[in-house]
Amino acid sequence: MSVIEPNMDTALSYLISAGIFALGVWIAVGTFTAGSAMAWTFMGLLLIIVGSISLYQVVSGGSPP
């Protein structure tokens, strides 16, 4: 195993976590400002929570799920 593989795994985990978080923010803010159904806003908030937990695991050095 080369030295670059763990770094790539960490970078990929970070990017996926940040993408989940950003998608949640986009859904939550977009639906809230448009006055759409609250279900979509809650779905966006759920994505924000999941993305935050995943980002915390990556930053703290824990193993990703």
Residues of the chain with pLDDT > 70, as a percent, come to 83
Q: CB of 55 within 8 A of CB of 18?
A: yes
Average pLDDT (33-55) is 83
**Measured between alpha carbons, how far is 50 from 43 in angstroms, rounded to an integer?**
11
Global pTM reads 0.70
Least reliable range by pLDDT among 4-8, 25-29, 34-38, 57-61: 4-8
Query: Mean pLDDT, to the nearest integer, of 6-30?
Result: 82
Averaged pLDDT score across all residues of the chain: 79
Distance CA 63, CA 65 (A): 6
